[in-house]
Chain A
């Protein structure tokens, strides 16, 4: 065995080891963003509008208004929802937009909905009530950005 062969084996093995690492990172990437083919397809084809979605005339202006709902405390802390022009229902029911696993929340606890460019919170007759900041919500109330909404142990906020 000469020195050249030795070097080739040595460097070749390291290269294969790194190839494995790179392939593994590729798998992680696919996991995060979906397969490459689907990624290209998504980029080309604009997203079709949902047929059943009601086309709201008073679409909230995205540049000014909030664009996400963030859970800041509770078992879902860290979860965020993108705001569209559809209402968000919150509760323990399986068909709620945000399903809470919180003993202090009701099945259909509250809803958030857009109206005239702002978001309103409405309590849906919950047992333990919905609080906007420290105030109990008794009728649909506008929610400013960054003000906490408390539902049981869960705290939500609108973020821009």
Chain B
């Protein structure tokens, strides 16, 4: 990185920072415990008695993750795990709070679709997520090894994406979104994992092709236009996302995939023209689908005219409830357990951010967005520092898509952009999203460990030369 004022001084770069990580993790767990107590006090006026076990189990899981990082990625970034742990913990507290509303003499309605075991299930999925994180750290000693599976991962990703479209509705559709695989009482959302697999594919593909994509082509009006035949992969990605849109009625996922691919193209080639082409293609695709399909057009109507006519009680009921929740929360929120988030349908999954907005207010929500922002920043930082171009692209793309996902859902809830159903990473109820998010953290931790590992001591030529690691 350039313009470092200490470039020529020996900066004591702290490398193994596991004790910092532990301290921050304990801090995060303390915040979660406090939130849990506050929620319980707010609901029933009593401190939690029995279910304090939830927090103990959560703390044990997170400390296990810390020990795994200590063992398998000793040089990793000290913030990634605590940030993710805080978000996951706050999500569990909010699910507990929603689960309890209307039950055991607490005020409010019962949230439809939340069983009395919702918190336990979420905790169980957290456990699975931590196991996945540890598995990533143990199995992938360097991100580079993933490059071998470029096309395998691409095929896997497309298959995972396509399965719900091919399954009959009874095994794939929940609340109108055909993105699930449902068998028995068990359901997973394969798109969450497809995103990780396709990120590996894009990164491997672009590392191989980036020179062609960047260098060939003409310059028109100060913009480097790529050659027509190099547009092929972008057009294929675009077509694939449109097909997802059409068959699975899932605009959010389509936007995430396309955004991820364009961002990775941009990182690989450093050509602004790809951003322009991507945005234009996306706008065109959205315009076409909005005119072809009623349900896409409806999203725009809800976005632009949520309060018009019968919309607040009709098609815009859910987003209007969320907006009213945010307004009710105001600057400092109602306090955990004191709001009425149960009025918003599906508040536990897609709309969980509006529940936080209502009970923690703008001040609390800003802090949470900053935590997301810091996680993304640490990811991008690792991408900058890591040497291997494949890992750089993969981590850059995944960090970006994490930011994009938060933007899409929070922007949708707050009415900035049309609402599309994507999960809020770490917070929403749902196992697939949580496990995929923890795998993502595993990849970020692995990348930062590789980036910060001290270089093997080179043989010095008596001060005449200095070895500079490519930053």
User: Which parts of A58-104 form the interface with B (CB within 8 Å)?
Assistant: 68, 70, 75-82, 84, 86-87, 89, 94-99, 101
Q: Does A30 contact B (CB under 8 A)?
A: yes
Give the A-B contact count at a CB cut-off of 8 A: 146
Residues of B contacting A: mostly: loop
Complex: A10 Cα to B361 Cα, angstroms:
10
Q: Does B310 contact A (CB under 8 A)?
A: no
B460–A95 touching, CB < 8 Å: yes
Q: Does A139 contact B (CB under 8 A)?
A: no
Q: Does B232 contact A (CB under 8 A)?
A: no
B177: shortest Cβ distance to chain A, in Å? 32
Q: Does B347 contact A (CB under 8 A)?
A: no
Residues on B with beta carbons closer than 8 Å to the beta carbon of A68: 2
Contact of B338 among A6, A51, A96 (CB under 8 A): A6
User: Which parts of A88-136 form the interface with B (CB within 8 Å)?
Assistant: 89, 94-99, 101
Residues on A with beta carbons closer than 8 Å to the beta carbon of B14: 30-31, 34-35
Q: CB-nearest residue of chain B relative to A37? A: B12
Q: Does B416 contact A (CB under 8 A)?
A: no
Residues on A with beta carbons closer than 8 Å to the beta carbon of B361: 14
B94: shortest Cβ distance to chain A, in Å? 13
Contact of B9 among A42, A78, A80 (CB under 8 A): A42
Q: Does A147 contact B (CB under 8 A)?
A: no
A96–B465 touching, CB < 8 Å: yes
Chain B, interface size: which category? 35 or more
User: Which parts of B1-59 form the interface with A (CB within 8 Å)?
Assistant: 1-3, 6-9, 11-14, 17, 20, 24, 27-28, 30-31, 34-35, 38, 41-42, 45
Contact of A9 among B17, B38, B458 (CB under 8 A): B38
Contact of B12 among A16, A35, A94 (CB under 8 A): A35
Bitwise, A1-36 to B at CB < 8 A (1) or not (0) is 100001001111110111011011101101101110
A82–B8 touching, CB < 8 Å: yes
**Segment with Cβ contacts to A, from B75-83, B116-124, B282-290, B313-321:** B75-83
Q: Does B471 contact A (CB under 8 A)?
A: yes
Q: CB-nearest residue of chain A relative to B46? A: A1
B16: shortest Cβ distance to chain A, in Å? 12
Q: Does B467 contact A (CB under 8 A)?
A: yes
22 A-B Cβ contacts within 8 A?
A: A6-B335, A9-B38, A10-B336, A11-B332, A13-B35, A13-B335, A13-B364, A17-B360, A20-B31, A24-B83, A30-B20, A34-B11, A34-B13, A34-B14, A35-B14, A47-B9, A81-B7, A81-B468, A82-B7, A86-B465, A95-B459, A97-B467
Q: Hey, which bits of chain A sit against chain B, CB under 8 A?
A: 1, 6, 9-14, 16-18, 20-21, 23-25, 27-28, 30-31, 33-35, 38, 42, 47, 50-53, 68, 70, 75-82, 84, 86-87, 89, 94-99, 101
Apart from A20-B371, A34-B14, A47-B9, list 14 A-B contacts with CB within 8 A. A9-B335, A11-B332, A13-B38, A13-B360, A14-B361, A17-B31, A23-B27, A31-B14, A79-B2, A80-B2, A82-B7, A94-B458, A94-B459, A99-B470
